[in-house]
Structure 1
Amino acid sequence: MHDHAHGIRQGDNRRLLAVSLAITGVVLVVQVAGAILTGSLALLADAAHMLTDAAALVIALVASAVAARPADDRRTYGYQRAEVLGALVNAVVLIALSVGIVVEAVSRLLAPEPAPVAGGWMLAVAVVGLLANMLAAWLLRHAQKHSMNVRGAYLEVIGDMIGSAAVIVAAIVILLTGWTRVDAIASLLIAVFIVPRAIGLLREVFSVLSESAPAGTAVADIRTHLLRTPGVRDVHDVHVWQLTRGAPVFTAHVVVEQEVLERGSGALLTRMQGCLAEHFDVAHSTFQLEAAGHEEREHH
């Protein structure tokens, strides 16, 4: 018996992603123009990160639309894994971007003459970027808890917020002291901030693709809860994985007393599925009921 509820509101996610994409696109144009005008590498790095934000949001929108397609005879779980692939692309792009920023920043730091930077314009553009990213992060804050793909976009927006803050600090230092090498240092800080989050997203993607149990899910605790159900004698062949963030799947063989099978198993299945949904947030569960003694024959 299966329960197909997964609680992910793809339509709401797409609307939030579309609004965030519009905000990001406008600020991207402003930051690129500002980077050219001021000569700031930190601002250009922030603009490049904003470009990956826009790309991530486009990928997230496409993946979200694909994931909303219903299951069919070939893809019986539907297309929710498309979100995971979108998150994988996001993480790879973030790492590549960070490498490029580091190379250029080191080149500027080693240059004999520091490049001129217009601190005033740099500060103004960075403030606009910070405010826009704060708005986008606020829009995505709830949806990212239930969608790995939205979370990838959310992490990029958060990273860009920190990047904008670093640019603001660098611009203030330039205005007060005239030390323009701080611009390259701010670029390095942006890259250092990006990499751990990209690696964390990659780990989550690989965890899903390798069908590991979701983080924080204790299989032993689930088994203990099920064993407390009246009529259940044993639980074995337990498997827990997730299709994407917020969509865990559970299967198990459950050995029950003969009287349970004779009376009907509907009430028992309902009780066990309710237990998983209430205590472990597992909405999709499958149980194979077996009479006592059947598991020995099965293992043999």
Structure 2
Amino acid sequence: MGHGHGHGHGHGPSANSDRRYLGAALAILVTFMAVEVVIGIIANSIALISDAGHMLTDAASIVFALIAISMAARPARGAYTFGWKRAEIISAAVNGLTFVVLVVYFTYEAIHRLVNPPDVMGPLVFVTALAGIAVNAVCTWLIAKADRTSLNVEGAFQHLLNDMYAFIATAIAGAVVWITGWGRADAVAALVVAALMAKAAYSLLRDAGRILFEAAPHGANPAEVQQAITDHTEVTDVQDLHIWTVTSGFPALSAHVTVRPGGDCHAVRREVADLLHSRFGIDHITLQVDHTPSSGCAIAPSKSPATTHR
């Protein structure tokens, strides 16, 4: 039996830097969001209010990310043999679900305003949206400096990036209302915001769902992995192959491998582990390696012990 380990997810200087970047972005967002809600009510703009709602999910996603980073850094102990690393995936899924709720609300409200357009203060919407673009650009830059290989951090980044696009749509709508007086442009911008939210929700829920349901990670197709192992000259069969992702950047594999009579089980295990690392990027590997039935395992005396660590 062999194991390979190569994970340090959620620990050390990188996690501390991520906390600083996320915390700074959170402070900026909350301040601007409060201002935008007030201006949105004064301007009677559903586009601005929907942008503020989007910013609320941005702030929530960052809070969830900060909590998840702290939980993921907890060491494995007791029944939690992988620690709390799945916390960041749950955080990403919650982010996606908040998008879904807001998509439903803002779509309903925008359609209502298309039918019965209210008076909208175009200049105020336009100026506020421009300020929102600047704020989101700064916050997006901050989070882009964090570790985006984490689905948790990537979820927060996608929230902010989509919000910046939403502010651009709102600024265009404000200019149209200001110049032409066509109030329905505000509702159209809100629908654009809802569409961007729906796209981000799908992406986050899809990726989080793959991990929560323990699908094989991208780049490690089980059929290809099995074929690569059986292509080894000493391997006769591969059974009980499982490939999954514990958390972002932490793929894992277990399998039962049988080798031809007289083959060196430990040598095969090391070579298969090296293959899985170099070709598929999998480091956390558990292999049960035996001879085909009716034969004992031959071990070359000059070989190293059965456990390897990356």
Structure 1 length as normaliser, TM-score? 0.88
**Matches of 1:223 and 1:7, distance apart in 2:** 27
Give the superposed CA RMSD.
Answer: 2.2
Contact 2:74 2:83 in 1 (8 A): yes
Deviation at 1:50, TM superposition (A): 0.1
CA-CA distance at 1:118 after TM superposition: 2.1
Preserved contact between residue 219 and residue 280 of structure 2 (Cα < 8 Å): no
Q: How does 1:186-201 map to 2 (within 5 A)?
A: 186-201=189-204
Q: Tell me, yes or no, if structure 1 residue 25 matches structure 2 residue 26.
A: no
1: CA distance between counterparts of 2:132 and 2:3? 47
Distance in structure 2 (CA, Å) of the matches to 1:54 and 1:229: 50
How many Å apart are 1:140 and its aligned residue?
3.1
Q: How does 1:111-190 map to 2 (within 5 A)?
A: 111=116, 114-141=117-144, 143=146, 145-190=148-193
User: More relative contact order in 1 or in 2 (CA 8 Å, sep 6+)?
Assistant: 2
Q: Who is 1:206 aligned against? A: 209
- Distance of aligned partners of 1:73 and 1:294 in 2 relative to their CA distance in 1, 3 Å threshold: farther
Q: Is the 8 A contact 2:9 2:73 kept in 1?
A: no
Worse-superposed segment, 134-143 or 216-225? 134-143
Which residue identity is paired with 2:249?
A: G
Partner of 1:51: 56
| CA deviation string 1:27-68 (max 9, x = no partner) | 212322321332211011001110111011101110111011
- Once the two structures are superposed, residues 67-121 of structure 1 have per-residue CA deviations (whole angstroms, 9 ceiling, x without a partner) of 111111201111111111111211111111111112222222222xx32222222
More deviation in 175-184 or 44-53?
A: 175-184
- Runs of 4+ more than 4 Å apart: 142-145
Decide which of 6, 13, 19 is 1:14's aligned counterpart. 19
Q: Structure 1 unaligned segments of length 5 or more: list them.
A: 296-300
Rounded Cα–Cα distance in structure 2 between residues aligned with 1:154 and 1:3:
31
User: In structure 2, what residue type is equivalent to 1:24?
Assistant: L
Distance 1:143 1:260, change over 3 A: farther
Give the TM-score, by structure 2 length: 0.85
Structure 1 residue aligned with 2:223: 220
- Where does residue 298 of structure 1 map in the other structure? none
Q: Report the equivalent of 1:279.
A: 279
3-state SS of 1:240 partner? strand
Residue 103 (structure 2) aligns with: 98
Q: In the superposition, relative to structure 1, how do residues 236 and 142 fare at CA in structure 2: closer, same or farther (>3 Å)?
A: farther
Cα gap change, 1:17/1:278 in structure 2, threshold over 3 Å: closer, same or farther? farther
Q: Distance in 2 between matches of 1:77 and 1:7?
A: 12
C-alpha contact 1:233 1:256 (8 A) present in aligned 2: yes
Q: Which structure features the higher share of helix residues?
A: 1
Q: Distance in 2 between matches of 1:6 and 1:191?
A: 37
**Cα distance in structure 2, aligned partners of 1:127 and 1:222:** 50
Aligned to 2:90: 85
